A and B are shown apart, each in its own frame.
Chain A
């Protein structure tokens, strides 16, 4: 149980275009999802917290107009990189927190990541 998927696993896009990455919780509902960015040989950096039905909370230094996050349902959050540039090339990872009954389990389950390459 507690499986998180991401689609696509790899994507190559041209500079100036936009690309959407999906994060799905397959066997649980998630009111909260997180988006991370990871550069080669570096740690995971939290970009934003995505809450179902409300606006995402972005970390300091992350441009909300460039990284659009939509959490339209309890099992899906999307990250859209708008007007992508080569410096946006990175490994993007999402995670989800299951919502069980009336209490929250704060354990995060991670997706497999999406490798974005902007040419």
Chain B
């Protein structure tokens, strides 16, 4: 399953499928991008990050892709599990500072 831009804030997938969550950013000065997972009633949890000099970075079951040309970021989750159900946020940070700007988030629901 795949979320499309910021106009589809929910994504529902079957357990075992791959999930793709998309994020558009607007600040050309951003050089560092992070994906966070937030479960209900909890703070954001770091998943994976990528710097602007990279196009792709892989973690355990997760991959982040960065397309600077169109200012697009995506998070791919392989073999999605019920425990992956949460809201996923992308965040960007400018070269010169430490402030993070968060995207709108996507609610991922994994059906067993």
Give A residues with C-beta under 8 Å from B. 4, 6, 32, 34, 41-46, 49, 91, 93, 95, 97, 104, 106-113, 115
Complex: how many Å from CA A98 to CA B102? Answer: 20
Q: State the Cβ distance, A115 to closest chain B Cβ, in Å.
A: 7
Q: Specify which chain B residues have a CB less than 8 angstroms from the CB of A108 in the assembled complex.
A: 98, 100
Complex: how many Å from CA A97 to CA B97? Answer: 12
Give B residues with C-beta under 8 Å from A. 9, 32, 36, 41-46, 49, 89, 93, 98-105, 107
Q: State the Cβ distance, B86 to closest chain A Cβ, in Å.
A: 13
Q: Specify which chain B residues have a CB less than 8 angstroms from the CB of A109 in the assembled complex.
A: 46
Q: Label chain A's interface by main secondary structure.
A: strand
A97/B98 contact (C-beta < 8 A), A44-B89, A106-B93 known: yes
Contact of B99 among A43, A49, A115 (CB under 8 A): A49
**Across the two chains, which residue of chain B brings its CB closest to A105?**
B98
Q: Specify which chain B residues have a CB less than 8 angstroms from the CB of A110 in the assembled complex.
A: 36, 43-45
A43 touches B104 (CB 8 A): yes
For the complex of A and B, the 7 pairs showing the least CB-CB separation, nearest first, are A110-B43, A43-B102, A44-B102, A106-B98, A112-B43, A110-B44, A113-B43
**Across the two chains, which residue of chain A brings its CB closest to B104?**
A43
